[in-house]
């Protein structure tokens, strides 16, 4: 067999060392060496399946000064992420098939990795039309207000959940309670969107969901919320690696929804590592100028797609978590939840990989690729990939981005229609 690409001397999760032969963007053979157009010697590297970040906000359109598909997906690839799932609270929000298709076209023109697009969940949204047009999932669905998203009341959520359940879709939920005046500090923000309120919101949403609904909770920030959840659970690197302790009391760069908590709450979230199904970045960049506004009016949201897996890989090297758990939570579990073909080490798997060295470095925002140019993780330990393969093509090689073809991953409604 002649291969397009062979990854030589890959250490597989089983502990076996083997060559991976790739043909047409798919893993075709594992084992002895075969002839190939291109080879990569993986000796000295940890080879991971490409990550699926199922929660990003790629901005673009009228928000292109914050981020666009080109810069956002370049940032993703440089961090070992080979598929991103864009959220629908864009400007304008994605609530019709026409807006969904326009968003997909925008991504096809600019993206440098795989992508999918979710459908907005509001009463007037054409849920069925977007499902048939290729929406990956529904939401994030706002059970509380957040940036570019209005909170929905209980009866509205119940009705929308029923409609989504009838379609067979996955609904992703932003669960919080919001109270009090506009916060002036990170501690105020934490109180206004408290961890206790988040757990109550999770319980409320769970009670509103019909039996059998495929329910996914976004960015849960406390152990109590994780324990209260039914369905699948997502946590973010910022809630795992950051707390208010890392910032001055009024530092708007750390303003995010749900808020950063205290150190005790952060450590308790780590205690739920085995219950957390997915780690996703909630990459939501804003410009430096926007973040320089007074805390009361500064937007919530931080960049994070490029630093997500590198932070986790440093935790692996420091012995805090296992490599197997990182693969599961960043690649295999999100792919399974969404119905995306898995990247991995078996024949038929998607040939998306990232090669990580043994060297731990520290995050320097000036070396990152997000358009906003800053990171709340500045100075934290990380392990960045030196090579990233997307669809069997070497997309990122020792700091240099190579041209790749973006692959659109449609949802199950589109695939079912196409297969009829």
Binding site for Zn(2+), by residue number, is: 55, 57, 140, 174, 219, 282
Return d(Cα 32, Cα 303) in angstroms, integer. 41
Tell me the C-alpha to C-alpha distance, in Å, between residue 318 and each of 46, 188, 210: 14, 33, 42
User: Chain-centre distance of CA 309, in angstroms?
Assistant: 10
Instruction: Cite the annotated binding site by residue number.
Output: 55, 57-59, 89, 140, 174, 219, 282, 286
Return d(Cα 218, Cα 94) in angstroms, integer. 18
Asked whether the beta carbons of 191 and 176 are under 8 A apart, the reply is no
**Residue 114: closest CA among 386, 341, 356, 402:** 341
Burial (CB count <10 Å: 0-12, 13-18, 19+), residue 90: buried
349 is catalytic: no
Catalytic residue among 188, 277, 282, 349: 282
Residues noted as catalytic: 282
């Amino acid at each position: 067999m002649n291969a397009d690409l062979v990854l030589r001397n890959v250490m597989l999760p089983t502990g076996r060392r083997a060559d991976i032969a790739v043909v047409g963007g798919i893993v075709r053979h594992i084992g002895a060496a075969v002839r190939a157009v291109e080879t990569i010697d993986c000796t000295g590297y940890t080879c991971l399946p490409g990550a699926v970040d199922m929660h990003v906000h790629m901005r673009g359109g009228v928000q292109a000064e914050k981020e666009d598909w080109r810069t956002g997906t370049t940032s993703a690839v440089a961090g070992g992420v080979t598929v991103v799932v864009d959220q629908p609270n864009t400007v304008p929000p994605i609530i019709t098939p026409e807006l969904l298709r326009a968003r997909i076209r925008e991504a096809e023109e600019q993206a440098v990795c795989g992508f999918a697009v979710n459908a907005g969940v509001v009463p007037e949204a054409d849920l069925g039309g977007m499902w048939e047009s290729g929406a990956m999932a529904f939401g994030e669905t706002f059970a509380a207000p957040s940036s570019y998203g209005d909170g929905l009341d209980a009866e509205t959520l119940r009705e929308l959940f029923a409609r989504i359940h009838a379609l067979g879709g996955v609904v992703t939920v932003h669960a919080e309670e919001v109270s009090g005046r506009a916060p002036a500090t990170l501690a105020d923000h934490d109180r206004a969107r408290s961890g206790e309120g988040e757990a109550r919101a999770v319980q409320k949403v769970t009670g509103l969901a019909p039996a059998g609904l495929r329910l996914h909770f976004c960015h849960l920030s406390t152990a109590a919320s994780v324990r209260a959840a039914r369905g699948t659970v997502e946590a973010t690197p910022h809630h795992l690696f950051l707390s208010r302790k890392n910032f001055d009391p009024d530092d708007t760069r750390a303003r995010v929804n749900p808020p950063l908590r205290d150190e005790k709450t952060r450590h308790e979230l780590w205690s739920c590592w085995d219950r957390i199904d997915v780690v996703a970045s909630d990459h939501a960049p804003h410009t430096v100028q926007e973040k320089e506004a007074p805390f009361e009016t500064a937007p919530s949201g931080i960049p994070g797609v490029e630093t997500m897996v590198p932070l986790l890989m440093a935790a692996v090297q420091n012995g805090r978590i296992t490599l197997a758990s990182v693969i599961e939570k960043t690649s295999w579990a999100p792919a399974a939840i969404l119905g995306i073909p898995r990247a991995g080490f078996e024949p038929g798997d998607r040939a998306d990989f990232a090669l990580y060295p043994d060297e731990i470095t520290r995050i320097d925002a000036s070396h990152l690729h997000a358009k906003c140019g800053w990171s709340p993780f500045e100075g934290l330990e990380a392990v960045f990939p030196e090579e990233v393969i997307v669809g069997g093509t070497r997309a990122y090689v020792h700091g240099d981005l190579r041209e790749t073809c973006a692959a659109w991953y449609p949802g199950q409604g589109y695939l079912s229609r196409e297969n009829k």
